[in-house]
Structure 1
Amino acid sequence: MKIYVAQNSGFCFGVKRALRKTFEAVKQKNRKIFTYGPLIHNDQVINKLKESGVNSVETIDDAKDSTLIIRSHGIPLDIYDKAKLNNIEIIDATCPFVRRVQEIAKEYYNNGYKIVIVGNPKHPEVIGINGWCDNTAYIIEEYNQINKIDTTQKMCVVAQTTITLEKWNSIVNELSKKVKELREFNTICLATKDRQEACAEIAKKVDLMIVIGGYHSSNTQKLFEISKNYCNNSIHIETADELPIELLDKCEKVGITAGASTPDWIINDVVKKIENKGGD
């Protein structure tokens, strides 16, 4: 059995940076440490953070007089001011790629453009970006939603950094037909794009495609969607314990990819389990 592990699997730059900042804060231990929402979408890593004394909060009020770590997804702009009023020390781990999207939204909103965000309206990154344009953005997840918005305004469109290029293209192509003045900023993270392309290439040539990552992870879910497009025998698991060994019985080629919140040790556990079954 041949095992293919996709390039760019596992922690992305933004997640590594957020974790590094968090554990540096733990070493200093000046105050209680919280994250604004779960730091990453991976239960195993979250449990390790809890063991180090780092818990998450959903509101600023729950983090008074403490250190608050802003996760890589970013936050609405007004949260920074609220933190100051509550004597909260901010450690900002917003991914630089996400910060660029936030700044574009703010700049063009201030210049009179209606902001359009292509992405999931419930995703924390999208909620955060919307907070940089006074929560006035149109948030579009599917191209048919364009019919429900006022396209007579001048618009600036940005992307949630983890969406697929196909989704971006389908929505922007439709917008460009209807909006006279449209500024387009494809803000999909290059690492996300590379990860998705590598996933597709491997899925095309294997008998079984394994996608590893948290079930609440947006980028992992998108990898699973891509895998299913090219390999009917695709599965999404969070840990090696969830891998159905019987699926390997008739497989000669197995592919593996992992979301941006998946640590290397979980990927290695899955590889070892396959190797023990007869992989190489």
Structure 2
Amino acid sequence: MNVEIVLVEGAGFCFGVKRAIDIAFKVAKKHKDGVFTLGPIIHNPQVVEKLKELGVNPIEDTNGQTNIKTLIIRAHGISKDKLEELKKGGYEIIDATCPFVRKAQKIAAKLSSEGYQVVIIGDKEHPEVKGIYSYAGDNAVVISSDEIPILNKKIGIIQQTTQPFSKVKDILKGIIKSLNEFEEIRTFNTLCNFTAKRLESTEKVAKDVDLMLVIGGKNSANTTQLANLCRNIGVKTYHIEDTKEIEREWFKNVKKIGITAGASTPQWIINQIIDKIKCL
């Protein structure tokens, strides 16, 4: 196919995901059995399947499992209570929580201990946010707009690491307008700079191509975020996980294709997709 392909700078694995995957593969080589991850190590089904082939299987809970020797904590992290429970279970625990997520957990715990109501900007159903929330104390709230249930006149604001900067900025502006309702507002930047740069680079490419392919797990929040960004720009956009989903008709009258990928997408999948497009 005679088209120009533009790969977004920084597409694919972010620092935290690459670290988690490297840990998981290293553990797989060291231990031949009894290795599990609590939940999928990252939100990418192909990577999870590769780890299964090496004997590293995801489980949702340890209940009823008698063959667990080593447990790897996923990149999104887990709740404080669950971590304490696992420590009492006698397993070898290897923590692959993303350092940016761990930073948010620590700040949440510190703010709570100092008497602040912790406000988390993010998706309350996301596993990362559930983990951070568990460190944030009884009065903590998760918000996706500037409306805050006020339980304390002193608030400390943090963010889910993959939230778009523009959304966080708008929410903070709205909160500042209600400044007179608070005695003190503290804000901490817990956003992942890798995610911010990928969104910025994707937006730039999407404005200059005829079609965007967004590669990553359908259950990946940050990949879905990239796809929505491209669609909102108005460019024809397809969110795919692998080469099997590609259809030749998509590229009719297309001269320039942009490709981006979520933080959990390995380079080998990106390469396979580029190769397939070139062979159409």
After the TM superposition, which residues 90-109 of structure 1 pair with which residues of structure 2 at under 5 Å, given as runs? 90-109=93-112
The amino acid across from 1:6 in the alignment is V
Give me the TM-score of the superposition, normalised by structure 1: 0.93
The CA deviation string for residues 211-236 of structure 1, in whole angstroms up to 9 with x for no partner, is 00000001101111111122331111
After the TM superposition, which residues 210-249 of structure 1 pair with which residues of structure 2 at under 5 Å, given as runs? 210-249=213-252
Question: 1:161 — aligned with what?
Answer: 161
After the TM superposition, which residues 88-237 of structure 1 pair with which residues of structure 2 at under 5 Å, given as runs? 88-134=91-137, 136-143=139-146, 146=147, 149-150=149-150, 153-179=153-179, 180=182, 181-237=184-240
- In structure 1, how many angstroms separate the alpha carbons of the residues matched to 2:247 and 2:192? 32
Q: Residues 98 and 168 (structure 1 numbering): CA distance in 2 closer, same or farther, change over 3 Å?
A: same
Give me the TM-score of the superposition, normalised by structure 2: 0.93
Measure how far apart 1:185 and its partner are: 1.2
Question: 1:17 — aligned with what?
Answer: 19
Unaligned runs of 5+ in 2: none
Q: Secondary structure at the match of 1:61?
A: coil
The amino acid across from 1:255 in the alignment is G
- In structure 1, how many angstroms separate the alpha carbons of the residues matched to 2:138 and 2:244? 41
Measure how far apart 1:111 and its partner are: 0.2
Unaligned runs of 5+ in 1: none
The amino acid across from 1:157 in the alignment is I
After the TM superposition, which residues 254-269 of structure 1 pair with which residues of structure 2 at under 5 Å, given as runs? 254-269=257-272
% same residue: 43
Measure how far apart 1:56 and its partner are: 1.3
Measure how far apart 1:139 and its partner are: 0.5
Comparing 6-15 and 76-85, the one that deviates more: 76-85
- In structure 2, how many angstroms separate the alpha carbons of the residues matched to 1:224 and 1:272? 21
Whether the aligned pair in 2 keeps the contact of 1:34 and 1:63 (CA below 8 Å) is no
The amino acid across from 1:41 in the alignment is H
Q: Residues 59 and 245 (structure 1 numbering): CA distance in 2 closer, same or farther, change over 3 Å?
A: same
Measure how far apart 1:178 and its partner are: 2.0
Equivalent residue for 1:38, pick from 27, 37, 40: 40
RMSD: 1.6
Q: Secondary structure at the match of 2:51?
A: helix
Whether the aligned pair in 1 keeps the contact of 2:117 and 2:151 (CA below 8 Å) is no
The amino acid across from 1:55 in the alignment is N
Measure how far apart 1:190 and its partner are: 0.4
- In structure 1, how many angstroms separate the alpha carbons of the residues matched to 2:145 and 2:218? 21
